[in-house]
Amino acid sequence: MLKDVTIGQYYPTGSVIHKLDPRTKILFTTAFVVMLFFLNNLWGYLATFLILVTVTLLSKIPIGYILRGVKGLVLIIMLTVVLNLFMTPGNVVASLGPLKITIEGLKVSTYMALRLIFLVIGTSIMTLTTSPIDLTDGMEWCMRFIPFVRRYAHELAMMMSIALRFIPTLMEETDRIMKAQKARGANFETGNIIARAKNLIPILIPLFISAFRRADELATAMEARCYRGGENRTRMKQLAYCNRDWVSFLLMLIMIVGLFGTTMIQIPLLFPV
């Protein structure tokens, strides 16, 4: 399961999505995530699905590779679905003892599951198609327009970029430590929850030590290269919009208007209110 984490990884394919300006992809992803929370019917989620399929095909990233990121959230999605299914009041359609399934519960649980899946896929596509350096520059540019943040835009963008970059590294380190502990006779798959939690101690301690060591090495390397933050810092590659970015902005506007329009459509036959 640790190998299924795709957030923070970069998958170069040379596609048109990879060549877009990072600011365009950040703004597009932000608009996409915001619109996800306004969708209220299956037409909207169907349109969102078509958008994700189109972007995935244009990025030339294998669909199976992108879906790997969803596998790590299966338990969270299932827990969310179960809680919304049995705890949402409304018109009862079935009951399992004290637990009751309502039409509203079916609606909310379905929408919540789709929302989480689309959220993970959408954000994964952005990180998979954007290199860490470009992502840092794009986030720094975007945060310059946020009050009380613009002064520390470079430092915040650098921290977020490093955090995203080290997610797959820490996952690989965790997998390596688990294999080493299993070779010494450790068992992480049997016992109750408390026993499994205790078995994680031999993993967490070396993992924290390794993470602090990597952080210290990174800080030393940055100081050795005379890194002093974003003040008076120049870039070898300057960000600049081109025709494909303006076309993407037009498509983003169409997407926002289209998804907002789907919120006006009702499907009483499937999910009556």
27 in a structural domain: yes
Residue 266: the pLDDT is: 58
Does residue 263 share a domain with residue 207?
Answer: no
Single out the residue of 146, 138, 144, 145 nearest to residue 164, CA to CA.
138
Does residue 191 share a domain with residue 253?
Answer: no
53 in a structural domain: yes
The token duo for 152 is 């520390």
111 in a structural domain: yes
Residue 6: the pLDDT is: 62
Residue 175: the pLDDT is: 81
136 in a structural domain: no
Residue 273: the pLDDT is: 40
Does residue 39 share a domain with residue 166?
Answer: no
Does residue 21 share a domain with residue 102?
Answer: yes
CB 77 within 8 A of CB 113: yes
Structural domains counted in the chain: 2
Does residue 252 share a domain with residue 180?
Answer: no
135 in a structural domain: no
Single out the residue of 176, 165, 208 nearest to residue 7, CA to CA.
165
Q: Residue-wise pLDDT tens for the chain (273 aa)?
A: 555 566 667 888 888 898 888 888 988 898 888 888 888 788 888 888 999 999 989 888 888 888 877 777 777 888 888 888 787 777 777 777 777 778 778 888 888 888 888 988 888 888 888 887 788 888 888 888 877 777 778 778 878 778 777 877 887 888 888 888 888 777 767 767 677 777 777 788 888 888 888 888 888 888 888 777 666 666 667 777 888 889 888 988 888 888 877 777 655 544 444
Does residue 245 share a domain with residue 233?
Answer: no
Does residue 231 share a domain with residue 212?
Answer: yes
139 in a structural domain: no
252 in a structural domain: yes
Does residue 4 share a domain with residue 113?
Answer: yes
Does residue 121 share a domain with residue 165?
Answer: no
Residue 272: the pLDDT is: 44
Contacts of 193 (CB under 8 A, 6+ apart): none
Does residue 270 share a domain with residue 175?
Answer: no
Query: Alpha-carbon distance 237 to 194, whole Å?
Result: 51
CB 173 within 8 A of CB 186: no
152 in a structural domain: no
Q: 102 has which bridge partners?
A: 92
Does residue 20 share a domain with residue 39?
Answer: yes
Does residue 112 share a domain with residue 40?
Answer: yes
- Alpha-carbon distances of 56 from 15, 16, 52, 122, rounded to whole Å: 10, 11, 6, 9
Query: Alpha-carbon distance 237 to 214, whole Å?
Result: 27
Q: Which domain holds residue 202?
A: 157-237
- Residue 219 — φ and ψ, nearest 5°? -65, -40
The token duo for 206 is 């070396």
- Alpha-carbon distances of 194 from 75, 177, 185, 191, 198, rounded to whole Å: 18, 20, 19, 8, 6
3-state secondary structure of 92: strand
